[in-house]
Amino acid sequence: MPPAPGRSKLALLATLFVVAACHPSAGAPPETGAGVAARPAAHFPEGWRFEAGGNASFARDAMVSSNSELASRAGVEIMERGGNAVDAAVATGFALAVTHPSAGNLGGGGFMVIRMADGRTAALDYREIAPLAATRDMYLDEHGKLTDKSVIGPLASGVPGSVAGMTAALAKYGNLSLQEVMAPAIRLARDGFVVDSALYFSLRSSKEKITRFNGSAVFFPNGEPLQPGARLVQPALARTLQLIADRGPDAFYKGEIADSIAAEMKRDGGIITKEDLANYKPIWRTPIRSTYRGYSIIAMPPSSSGGITTVETLNILETYDKLPPFGSAHYDHLVAEAFRRAFVDRNTKLGDPAFVNVPVAELTSKSYAKELASTIDADESSRTPRFGATAGEPMHTTHYSVADSKGNAVATTTTINSGYGSGVFIRGAGFFMNNEMDDFSAQPGHANQFGLVQGEANAIVPGKRMLSAMSPTIVLDKDGKLFLVVGAAGGPTIITATTQIILNAIDNHMTLADAMRAPRLHHQAWPDTLFFERGGIAPATLDSLRAMGHHPVTRGSIANANGVMKVDGGFMGLSEPRSSGGAVGY
Ligand code: DON
């Protein structure tokens, strides 16, 4: 297949927008070095919106890749002041809460996977939890029908974990003080920053949600979204951040910020109380460790489904000595069938391990993967079983990647779920609350906002963490050295996009630039549909997949990833080519 020659006008416009939004380092060298010499330009289908062989940012010592160039710069600033990758991740996380309000947050939760240069690894779970007053059927109306209250408004929020998580990570693995790492975020909130077109379009598309609650004064000053070029100053948020920097997480969970959250909840019929906030604790967990073709995978365990589902998929694919060529129908077929099987397990067996017995060892074992792989027909798609037939017994988003000069690396994904979360903006404190309760099976067997059909293992229980797809992942090379830091936003497509970037880097020998620009597919078992990105599949491949029995459906874009790859002489970094952001290093 020849490299993509012609592109449509629309694709060209999209590419121009992306180039404007991404700011790869001016004059960044093409990906050079021994590790990269073995990575020739990929072949993408004709008409695909990105050209193969493109650039990413290059830096010698350290790199941060996130959905906000300003937030990536905050991380770099901290590393230039002597901070390590964890200090930088926390600085980037707090800065995202200022510059990327649709997803960066104080009112949400997340996961952090850490790999220190001395070999220590850690996984921090600061996922939100269901409030004490939550009930299993709280989102059903009197006729047993699912309402939209798990998605919009104050009832949609879980108890936020981000502040507890970021401060815990810093205390255990950082070098610098909370005040030092929060300084860039406080500056960005207090002095403001210039609104770019990405933020403008994002606000505009969420106008109804933001203005329905209390966000208008900050983001829609005259009833219109802040225009590109306007300065966004957030004094209330600056004050909140300063309180956290000065007094630590207690300011958020027990002090006046907790008062503001509880008051806002009470005013509009929410159920999060001061007791819920005071009880919140992040949890250090053992990362999921596995191997894939000699590389090591370090990934997030439950309450995320990310690590198990990624590893289960990779293990199935590893049973094939060599995958068919990228872009072929057989490649797409195998990858989709592997995802299908891993998602059946994900959606029926996984939940918060404090409430559900998750068979982690079995699901991530090579022998189980062999069993699953033996059920894949090389030329014919299987069918996802009817939901319920496989369910266990009743019992029951922005990503950023950081690497420093010492070999430490951090993969973090954090979320308020939908863009701008529940829409509820905490007056006086200056931030949005999440709508993470929708990640529970609000009605087991029925789809949530991502079309995910999940079971009893993920039903609502007070104090329980809702199952997540967030997949912050670190990959080491065959010598045990840092290779890739990656993860994504996008609901269940987080898992499939993260896995495909890993496949692209390992099996398809792509550069980071190609691995992230390559067209993506997605299969989540239910619905039994194979999703493709528009223009990302050759017509002949599509015909073959249909002939195999797949039900292909096109989508605009799949997922929003930010990655860093170690190459000889430094790091390549790239923020999502389909979205906005920036990879910055030094
Ligand atoms: O934790 C999860 O799986 C979801 N709350 C992630 C949501 C998400 O990625 C939305 N993003 N684009």
Distance 539 CA to ligand 1 centre (A): 31
Residue 489 in contact with residue 414, Cβ under 8 Å? no
Q: What's the pLDDT tens digit per position in 201-255?
A: 999 999 999 999 989 999 999 999 999 999 999 999 999 999 999 999 999 999 9
Lowest-confidence pick of 37-46, 75-84, 560-569: 37-46
| 501 close to 515: Cβ distance less than 8 angstroms | yes
pLDDT tier at 17, thresholds 50, 70, 90: very low
Backbone angles phi, psi at 495, to 5 degrees: -65, -45
- Return d(Cα 203, Cα 206) in angstroms, integer: 5
Number of CB atoms found within 10 A of residue 217's CB? 11
How far, in Å, is the centroid of ligand 1 from the Cα of 400?
14
The protein residue with its alpha carbon nearest to ligand 1, atom 5, reads 417
How large is the average pLDDT for residues 5-19? 29
pLDDT band for position 31 (50/70/90)?
very low
Mutate to test the pocket of ligand 1, among 435, 494, 496 (most ligand atoms within 8 A of CB): 494
Does residue 417 have a pLDDT over 70?
yes
258 pLDDT exceeds 80?
yes
Q: How confident is the model at residue 184 (pLDDT cuts 50, 70, 90)?
A: very high
Q: Which residue do the tokens 């901070």 mark?
A: 83
Mean pLDDT of 25-35: 41
Nearest to 360 by CA among 297, 290, 282: 290
pLDDT tens, residue by residue, 298-321: 999 999 999 999 999 999 999 999
Q: Under a CB-based contact definition with an 8 Å cutoff, are residues 512 and 561 in contact?
A: no
More confident residue, 447 or 112: 112
- Residue 156 CA to ligand 1 center (angstroms) comes to 14
116-173 pLDDT tens trace: 999 999 999 999 999 999 999 999 999 999 999 999 999 999 999 999 999 999 999 9
CA angle 434–208–103, rounded 5-degree value: 30
Q: Give every CB contact of residue 150 below 8 A, 6+ residues apart in sequence.
A: 139, 156, 435, 437, 438, 440, 442, 448
State yes or no: pLDDT of 469 exceeds 50: yes
Query: Cα–chain-centroid distance for residue 45?
Result: 26
Nearest to 364 by CA among 386, 352, 346, 378: 346
Distance CA 274, CA 83 (A): 34
CB atoms under 10 Å from CB of 84, counted, come to: 25
In percent, how much of the chain has pLDDT > 70? 92
Average pLDDT value over all residues in the chain: 92
Given a contact cutoff of 8 angstroms between Cβ atoms, the answer to whether 501 and 486 are in contact is yes
- C-alpha–C-alpha distance, residues 586 and 579, integer Å: 23
Interval 102-117 mean pLDDT: 98
Ligand 1, atom 12: nearest CA belongs to which residue?
490
Q: What is the pTM of this model?
A: 0.93
Tell me, in angstroms, the distance from the centre of ligand 1 to residue 470's CA: 7
Residue 448: the pLDDT is 87
Q: Give the residue among 540, 501, 505 at the shortest CA–CA distance from 521.
A: 501
Average pLDDT over residues 358-365: 98
Distances (CA, A) of 80 to 62, 69, 145, 278: 9, 16, 54, 35
Question: Coil, helix or strand for 2?
Answer: coil
Other beta carbons less than 10 A from residue 292's beta carbon: 20
Say how far apart CA 149 and CA 156 lie, in whole Å. 6
Q: Which residue minimizes the CA distance to atom 11 of ligand 1?
A: 490
Q: Which of 240, 313, 397, 496 is catalytic?
A: 397
Answer yes or no: is pLDDT of 28 > 80. no
The per-residue pLDDT for 388 is 61
282 ligand 1 Cβ < 6 A: no
The tally of CA atoms less than 13 A away on the side-chain side of residue 366 is 8
CB contact at 8 A, 503 and 415? no
Q: How far apart are the first and last CA of the chain?
A: 37
Judged against a pLDDT cut of 90, whether residue 399 lies above it is answered with yes
Q: Do residues 418 and 131 lie in contact, with contact meaning Cβ atoms separated by under 8 Å?
A: no
For position 37, what pLDDT does the model report?
53
Contact between 408 and 78 (Cβ < 8 Å)? no
> How confident is the model at residue 451, as a pLDDT?
87
**Closest by CA position to 124, among listed 83, 172, 65, 157:** 172
> For residue 553, how far is its CA from the centre of ligand 1 (angstroms)?
21
Longest dimension (CA), the chain: 64
Instruction: Enter the tokens of residue 83.
Output: 């901070």
* C-alpha distances in Å from residue 354, one per residue of 368, 394, 460, 483: 24, 15, 13, 32
Which residue owns the Cα nearest ligand 1 atom 6?
491
In short, whether 452's Cβ falls inside 6 Å of ligand 1 is: no
- Is 240 in the active site? no
The amino acid present at 133, given as its one-letter code, is A
Place of tokens 């999703």: 531
pLDDT of amino acid 38: 74
The answer to whether the CB of 470 is under 6 A from ligand 1 is yes
Nearest to 243 by CA among 228, 227, 259: 259
Q: Helix (H, G, I), strand (E, B), or coil: what is residue 125? A: strand
> E strands, 416-501, where?
425-426, 431-432, 473-476, 482-486, 488-489
Does ligand 1 have an atom closer than 6 angstroms to the CB of 415?
Answer: yes
